[in-house]
Structure 1
Amino acid sequence: MNTLASRAPILDALAPLKTWWPVVLGLLVLYVPTYWTLAHGIWNTEEQAHGPIVLVVALFLVWQKRAVFVADNCKPPTRGEMAIGWALLAFGLLAYALGRSQDILIFEIGSQIPVILGALLITVGTRAARALWFALFFLVFMIPLPGFVVDAATGPLKQYISIIAENVLYAAGYPIARSGVTLTVGPYQLLVADACSGLHSMFSLSAMGLLYLYLMQRTSVARNLIIMAAILPIAFAANIVRVMVLVLITYHLGDEAGQGFLHGFAGIMLFIIGLLFLFVLDWVLGFIFPDRPRAQTRP
């Protein structure tokens, strides 16, 4: 008797799989090869290292809302919902086929969103789509930035970071000069490379910032909007700190220290600093825009 009672929660959690296993199986057949390619490709780069984290977080958010998949809680979708669902599913499958066959990762990875959304509308309806909207939206951060966006933003960002780092360190008394995006400090020269532009760190920090807002469920609209608007400036400021730290490491400890382990560690510190700035800003805004008590629904 106790054994059956202990198994009941597990059986309840797995109940949705009885109905959803064909959909889950289809998604696995489509996207496991994609994840395998990513795991042996761009997920090993500094620019896309956040990809696995985004995937795990999205799966966790879906698991939290698993009650919407239980048959007893589901209403049959309307004809309109099914029509929109089939259209989204067809569009997503076409995007996947094009991306997979032509090795276009933007289409291949991005197709997850319309495919999953279409499957939800066909089988459950808008109720599940509304419940899982953030998990689906969060998958956007798995998609690599288009090349033309990277090319257009990287140059100006490197230039601004170089100028600010030079001015701050020069004001602090360091013998630093700049030529384009090359900083000369003492006997050393440092090139502010594309990875130091901060574009990808802005992208990943935006993902973590929006996730933080979603989990915290702030009731103050002004507080949420200010934090959202501050994410990119915070990421930019954190990247300036990273570049200045690397310049100081190189100046005091030598070129090998600046390009070795401490270079990679500075990238980790960049992300931590950005998150700390975000948390501090949220804490300060809490005194100005406190959360309102949520209205409690009567049972």
Structure 2
Amino acid sequence: MTASMTSRVAGAPPAWLAWLPVLLGLAVLYLPTWWDLAHGLWLADEQAHGPLILLVSLYLAWQQRAAFAADSDVPSPAAAGHTRPVLGWGVLLFGLLAYALGRSQEILLFEVGSQIPVLFGVLLITLGGPAVRRLWFPVLFLAFMVPLPGFVVDGLTGPLKQFVSAAASNILHGVGYPVARSGVILTIGAYQLLVADACSGLHSIFSLSALGLLYMHLMRHTGVLRNALLLASIVPIAVAANVVRVILLILITYHFGDAAGQGFAHDFTGMVLFMVGLLAMMGFDVLLGAVAFRNRPRSESGSTR
């Protein structure tokens, strides 16, 4: 009997073959979407983070590939037809309807956003709740691929531009630079700079929020308060980083001319923005860890006499 069982297991097809129909279905749905994004929206600076979000999500899902292995405790895709959880089918149907509406009417919010309910529905149907608990972050991380609706962009861009321009001018005026502000127009020396929509920082906040959540996921802190404070710090840090970027552009324009401020330096300060944001979050995390360790009771410190 042992030899027969060994032979049957040895001759069994690879586990990934059971997932081939699911993967083919997802490819039919979303490869055209990704192709259109790669040749359209992702070419814009504001959405250049899209392919990185996709790659990170795929990598994180690959790290949890053990969740896809069929065993005695987790139903395989082939056996899913016997269970067909109602919740999973409901979520999948909702996602497919959103995809059909978005694809047919060219509404990227629905088309790209449908990936999340479709994937959650597939996971619930095929593997159940345990797989969803292991793969929830890679799936939800795809939300940062979804382009913001126009009314959200329009509603947030104006106040952000006002805040960024006011903060930058106040800081530079405070350290002695001849800067004046009229709305979102900054005058420094002989130059006038307009804080345009692209410089409002809305999309930078979106990208830095994704980076911050990924950092929190990778650090895997167990303290609820520490995670809550880190989460609450993401948007303020992103806004502050964008203020730093605008200040750098103003200073480059003032000292080296308008051409310098609009050339390579404009793109370079974008990289600086992400460096400042990430370093600020890491520094805040270290500070939280140091405070937590300092306030930890002596009995928990592990020291003995």
Same fold (TM over 0.5): yes
Q: What does residue 201 of structure 1 align with? A: 204
Instruction: State yes or no: 1:210 paired with 2:213.
Output: yes
1:15 Cα shift? Answer: 3.8
Q: What does residue 55 of structure 1 align with? A: 54
Alpha-carbon displacement from aligned partner over 1:3-42 (angstroms, at most 9, x marks no partner)? xxxxxxxxx9x94421101000111111011001111111
Partner SS state of residue 174, structure 1: coil
1:78 Cα shift? Answer: 10
Q: What does residue 128 of structure 2 align with? A: 125
**Runs of 4+ residues over 4 Å off in structure 1:** 77-81
Mapped to 1, the partners of 2:233 and 2:165 lie a distance apart of: 21
Q: TM-score, structure 2 length as denominator?
A: 0.88
1:43 Cα shift? Answer: 0.9
Partner SS state of residue 85, structure 2: helix
Instruction: State yes or no: 1:269 paired with 2:252.
Output: no
- Over alpha carbons, which structure has the higher Rg? 2
Alpha-carbon displacement from aligned partner over 1:154-212 (angstroms, at most 9, x marks no partner)? 00110011111111111111111111100011111100011111111111111111111
Partner SS state of residue 35, structure 1: helix
Instruction: State yes or no: 1:157 paired with 2:156.
Output: no
Q: What does residue 191 of structure 2 align with? A: 188
Mapped to 1, the partners of 2:203 and 2:161 lie a distance apart of: 12
Where do 1:88-167 residues align within 5 Å? Answer: 88-167=91-170
Q: Which stretch of the first structure deviates more once superposed, 204-213 or 79-88? A: 79-88
Q: What does residue 279 of structure 1 align with? A: 282
Identity of aligned residues (%): 60
Does the Cα contact within 8 Å between 1:15 and 1:70 map onto a contact in 2? no
Q: What does residue 25 of structure 1 align with? A: 24
Structure 2, unpaired ranges of 5+: 1-11, 297-305
Match of 2:182 among 179, 182, 204: 179
Mapped to 2, the partners of 1:80 and 1:250 lie a distance apart of: 65
Does the Cα contact within 8 Å between 1:74 and 1:124 map onto a contact in 2? no
Mapped to 1, the partners of 2:81 and 2:293 lie a distance apart of: 41
Mapped to 1, the partners of 2:284 and 2:146 lie a distance apart of: 28
Does the Cα contact within 8 Å between 1:188 and 1:255 map onto a contact in 2? yes
Instruction: Count residues with an aligned counterpart.
Output: 280
Query: Is the alpha carbon distance of 1:290 and 1:221 closer, same or farther for their aligned partners in structure 2, counting shifts above 3 Å?
Result: farther
Question: Cα RMSD between the aligned structures?
Answer: 1.9
Mapped to 1, the partners of 2:261 and 2:271 lie a distance apart of: 14
